[in-house]
Amino acid sequence: MDTATVAVSAAAKRIRLHELLRQHSPLVIAYSGGVDSAFLLAEARRELGDRVLGVLADSPSLPRASLAEAVALARAIGAPVEVVKTQELENPDYAANPPNRCYFCKAELFQTLDTLARSRGYPAIAYGENADDMQHDRPGRAAATEFHVLAPLRDAGLTKAEIRQLSRDIGLPTADAPAQPCLSSRIPWGTPVTTDALAMVERAEKHIRGLGFRVFRVRHVVKHRAPPGALVQIVPSEFSRIEDLRGEIERGIREAGYANVEIDPGGYRGPSA
C-alpha cells in the first residue's frame, strides 16, 4: 500500500474516531502522556471541547519526569487533566508480579476512574488501546471489558503507525516518541514489585537518559538472594555510543543502587521482536 493510500485510510478512520467520540460525550479519558492516549485526548478535546476530562494515574511505577511531561503536554493540548493516586502496589496480586500483573493495574485504574466519572456525571470512560494491540495478549483488556471502558482508537481501526502519522500532522510531540511502559515492566515475572525496586530502576534510567540515549531499558535482576543487578539494554541503532560511555553507564547504575551492571550485547529490540 503506497503512502497516499495509507494517508487516505488514516483520514477516513479519523472521521470514524470523531463519530465515536461524539456518541459517547461527555467522556473521561485514561491519559498517560504516551503516543496513543495523547492523540486520543487531543482529538477528543478538538471534537468535544470542554466535554472531555483527561485523568492521569500516579503511582510509584510512573517516573516523576514522565508525570511532569504528561501534565505539560495536556496543558499544551488545552485539555483539562487531573492527576489521581492509584494504589496497585497495595494489592498483593499485583505486587507478586504474575504474568497478568497488568490486569490488576488496569483494574485499579478503571475502578478509580469509574468512581470519578460517576461522581462528576461522565457516562463513559475511554483508554488508548489501538487496532494493533488486538494482535497481542493484553491482560489489561479484560479489566477494560469488566468496567465497560471504551477503546475508540481500536474501534476506529487506527493502527500505531497511523496514530503516529496523524499525531505528526497535528503537531503532537509524541508522534515519534518511543514506547515507555511502566517501571514495573523492568522487573521479571515472579520478582516482587516494591517501591525500592521501582525507585532503583527510575534512578538508573534517569542516568542513562541523561547520557543521551533515547531507547533503552534497565532490567532489575535478582538471582539467588544476591543484591539486585542491572541488565542495561540499549537499542542497536545507538550501540556506537556505548563504548565511549561504558564507564559512565556503569558508574551511574551502581550509584542508583545496583551491585553489578551488565550491558546486553543483544540490545533492546522491543516486545514484538
Per-residue pLDDT tens over the stretch 232-268: 999 999 999 999 999 999 999 999 999 999 999 999 9
d(CA 267, CA 273): 11
For residue 74 the three cell numbers come to: 495536556
User: How far is CA 83 from its chain centroid?
Assistant: 15
- CB contact set of 269 (below 8 Å; sequence gap of 6+): 235, 236
Bridge-partner residues for 220, per DSSP? 230
Residue 231, amino acid: L
Give pLDDT, residue 51. 98
Region for 111 from its dihedrals, namely left if φ exceeds 0, alpha if ψ lies in -120 to 50, beta otherwise:
alpha
**How far is the CA of 217 from the CAs of 44, 58, 77, 142, 249, in angstroms?**
32, 21, 29, 27, 13
CA angle 252, 194, 136 (to 5 degrees): 90
**Which whole number is the average pLDDT over 119-135?**
96
Nearest to 260 by CA among 233, 220, 224, 225: 220
In this prediction, residue 6 carries a pLDDT of: 58
> Which of 3.40.50.620, 3.10.270.10, 3.40.50.2300, 3.40.50.11810 would CATH assign to domain 3-176?
3.40.50.620
Whether the bond between 178 and the residue before it is cis, its omega within 30 degrees of 0, is no
* Separation CA 260–CA 253 (nearest Å): 8
E strand spans, 180-254 = 216-221, 229-234
Task: Please compute the mean of the pLDDT values over residues 102-127 and round it to a whole number.
Answer: 98
pLDDT in tens, 147-197: 999 999 999 999 999 999 999 999 999 999 999 999 999 999 999 999 999
Q: How confident is the model at residue 223 (pLDDT cuts 50, 70, 90)?
A: confident
Rounded to whole angstroms, the Cα distance separating 182 from 273 reads 19
* All three cell numbers of 228: 539486585
- Looking at residue 4, what is its pLDDT? 56
174 and 69 Cβ atoms separated by less than 8 Å: no
